[in-house]
Amino acid sequence: MDSRLRILFEKYFNKQASPEEERELFELLQREELQKSLEALLEETYLDYEQKERFFNAKQTSRILKRIKQQTVLSPRVLWYRIGGYAAAILVCLGLGLFVYSYLSKSIDTSSTKKTVVKRDVEPGFERATITLADGRTLELEEIANGIFADRESRFVKEGEGRLNYSGLEKSTKEMVFHTMRVPKGGQYRLVLADGTKVWLNAASSLHYPTRFDGDIREVTVSGEAYFEVARNVNKPFFVNCEGQRVQVLGTDFNVRAYPDETAFKTTLLAGSIAITTVGTSSKKIRLQPGEEASLTAKGSIKVNRLKEADLAIAWTKGYFAFNRADLPSVLRELSRWYNVDLKVKSSTTKTYTGKIDRQLTLSELLNGLALSGIPIQIEDQEHIIELPKDLFK
């Protein structure tokens, strides 16, 4: 195998390649004599990655690789079919779909390939949200210029890259007033509260909070999913209210996932210590340690698990979907929120998924990666439907 190809590929895979090295890699990929070396390198990388970040189980992996290798070259555009047919599925499963679609798609000949039917593509989510002020006005944050926003009852700073900041500002009124930030499907946003606490809001989520914290406690209410890095203040505990529970912290990092359409509400602690009290007739109180996750069901039962990789709970704040033995409906609900579409599956399966996917792929890029892996995808105009073959998960 060409040693230079291996070096460049490993650098690209680990996101360490310079622009010059990327160009050199792309040039090598177009050399006919290196295609077999590339295929061997891709399979080696894929199988190694599969053991670490398993997205498909062993039987699925064998089936997928078999299907990919059986693809035939029907076009003189050899590069695309060898990269696009065999390697594209591997690259997408490795989270390198942008490599395939942004660079190699220039060589696609769609006339002879069986590809996903995409009548309209869907872009990934981005930084967008609304904020409802104390007087009832609702502002579209995309329409507000960066800088200080001030009126008679509140002040905040809109910073670049989707973030509001309430910290370090003078009081605008004697009374404590509340704002509500709502992030729609297909969005995400960040804010810094008046005490310096940092909050990340995921798609289809909201946060109700005061513009400053008076009194003996700090308290907010969240719906959906939010990650908190709470500013430490031993004299003023921080409380987060969400579906069926109340979380008390002093200074810590944790993720709350409380979507109404999920079967359980999850709180994951990354650093510090928190106490969770369930709300209801039979109230329960538990304390979490770093690396633990509490799952609260709709019936009020609560279970604590220790996670091997608690950081996966906040992968969404770093640009990834992360699934850990998630069933297909859970995966589709996650994708639906981010892409603001309704994804449905026609065939049922009991299999689960574990692995990471880049959140910046368009919907067709993500689904085409699965289609190249042997999963036929259909996207319709009014409703998005994923159709899986019944024998794929046997």
Choice between 223 and 23, residue whose per-residue pLDDT is larger: 223
What pLDDT score does 274 carry?
Answer: 94
Choice between 12 and 216, residue whose per-residue pLDDT is larger: 216
Mean pLDDT of the chain: 75
What pLDDT score does 291 carry?
Answer: 95
- Supply the DSSP string of 246-257, one letter for each residue: EEEESS-EEEEE
List the chain domain ranges. 3-118, 126-314, 318-386
Q: How far apart are CA 111 and CA 127, in angstroms?
A: 37
**Residue of 248, 357, 255, 247 lying closest to 310 (CA atoms):** 255
pTM of the complete model beyond 0.75: no
Report pLDDT digits (tens) over 43-74: 665 545 444 444 444 444 444 444 444 433 32
What pLDDT score does 35 carry?
Answer: 64
Report pLDDT digits (tens) over 152-203: 777 899 998 899 999 877 665 667 899 999 999 999 999 999 999 999 999 9
Mean pLDDT of 334-363: 80
What pLDDT score does 171 carry?
Answer: 63
Least-confidence region, from 175-184, 215-224, 281-290: 281-290
Q: How far apart are CA 170 and CA 154, in angstroms?
A: 10
Taken as a whole, the chain contains a residue count of 394
- Supply the DSSP string of 310-345, one letter for each residue: GGGGGGGGGTEEEEEEEEHHHHHHHHHHHHTS-EEE
Q: Are 125 and 340 in contact (CB under 8 A)?
A: yes
CATH 2.60.120.1440 assigned to domain 126-314? The reply is: yes
Q: For 44-71, what is the HEC assignment?
A: HHHHHHHHHCCCCCHHHHHHHHHHHHCC
Report pLDDT digits (tens) over 69-90: 443 332 222 233 333 333 433 4
CA 376 to chain centre: 23
Which range of 67-81, 97-111, 259-273, 362-376 scores highest in mean pLDDT? It is 259-273
What pLDDT score does 332 carry?
Answer: 84
Mean pLDDT of 340-350: 72
Q: How far apart are CA 197 and CA 192, in angstroms?
A: 6
CATH 3.40.50.720 assigned to domain 318-386? The reply is: no
What pLDDT score does 60 carry?
Answer: 42
Measure the N-to-C terminal CA separation of the chain; round to a whole number of Å. Answer: 36
**Position 1: which residue type?**
M
What pLDDT score does 229 carry?
Answer: 96
Report pLDDT digits (tens) over 222-279: 999 999 999 999 899 999 999 889 999 978 999 999 999 998 999 999 999 999 998 8
Choice between 4 and 266, residue whose per-residue pLDDT is larger: 266
What pLDDT score does 48 carry?
Answer: 55
Asked whether the predicted pLDDT for residue 311 surpasses 50, the reply is yes
Asked whether the predicted pLDDT for residue 310 surpasses 60, the reply is yes
CA 322 to chain centre: 7
Choice between 377 and 183, residue whose per-residue pLDDT is larger: 183
**Residue of 304, 240, 244, 239 lying closest to 280 (CA atoms):** 244
Asked whether the predicted pLDDT for residue 93 surpasses 90, the reply is no
Q: How far apart are CA 170 and CA 155, in angstroms?
A: 8
Share of the chain above pLDDT 90, in %: 36
Asked whether the predicted pLDDT for residue 113 surpasses 90, the reply is no
**Position 106: which residue type?**
K
